Structure 1
Amino acid sequence: MSQQKKFSDFTEQEFQIFLRSITDPEDGVSERAHDQRIALFEEITEHPSGSDLIYWPEEDGLDTPENIIKIIKEWRTANGKPGFRPD
């Protein structure tokens, strides 16, 4: 699991890799480890929809990592939350 504990600890690329480890987990990852990743996603993004962004998006096609990141970035900006760490 990722060592980053805050959203602003991630670059956008690092977060995309982390998100893909949830949306397309590697073979052999345990259910517990996958659940821990989902919990960390919810904790660090602080988005009110949490994992629904991944599993139950508001519209078809919004469940891609790119769209999920876009939604999170827009919400964080609108709510005065810090963004990604610069590359």
Structure 2
Amino acid sequence: MERISLQDFTEQEFINFAHKILLAEFETTEGLMKAVTEFVLLSGHPAGTDLILYPQDFNITTPQSMVDVIKSWRGQHGLPCFRDDYHAIAL
């Protein structure tokens, strides 16, 4: 995927990316690990891989709820989110 920032994604694209990671839909373990690393770097969330590996700690049950945790944290810290997050753009 290799995008530079979270703002390069629409929210739905990032949800799809998270879903692919959660289902481990990659041809190799290396591909999965690269995607996980990219996810962590793009999200910027301090929990890092725990969002994926220990989702129960964040009440994460779906890719959407994972993205909701990231959006909430980024909003609380004044960080931009997705390309189609018009509320953040208006601030």
Q: How many residues align?
A: 84
Question: What is the root-mean-square deviation in Å for CA atoms of aligned residues?
Answer: 1.6
Cα deviation, residue 3, structure 1: 3.6
The counterpart of 1:44, out of the listed 42, 45, 63, is 42
Aligned letter for 2:12? Q
Cα deviation, residue 25, structure 1: 2.5
Greater helix proportion: 2
Cα deviation, residue 39, structure 1: 0.3
Within the alignment, does 1:56 sit opposite 2:31 as a pair?
no
Question: Matches of 2:45 and 2:24 in 1, distance apart?
Answer: 22
Cα deviation, residue 54, structure 1: 1.4
Question: Matches of 1:63 and 1:52 in 2, distance apart?
Answer: 13
Contact 1:8 1:82 in 2 (8 A): yes
Q: Which residues of 2 match residues 7-86 of structure 1 at below 5 A?
A: 7-26=6-25, 29-57=27-55, 58-59=57-58, 61-86=59-84
Question: Matches of 1:63 and 1:43 in 2, distance apart?
Answer: 21
Within the alignment, does 1:6 sit opposite 2:5 as a pair?
yes
Cα deviation, residue 5, structure 1: 1.9
Cα deviation, residue 40, structure 1: 0.2
Question: Matches of 1:11 and 1:3 in 2, distance apart?
Answer: 14
TM-score, normalisation: structure 1: 0.87
Could you tell me which runs of 5 or more consecutive residues in structure 2 were left unpaired when the two chains were aligned: 86-91
TM-score, normalisation: structure 2: 0.83
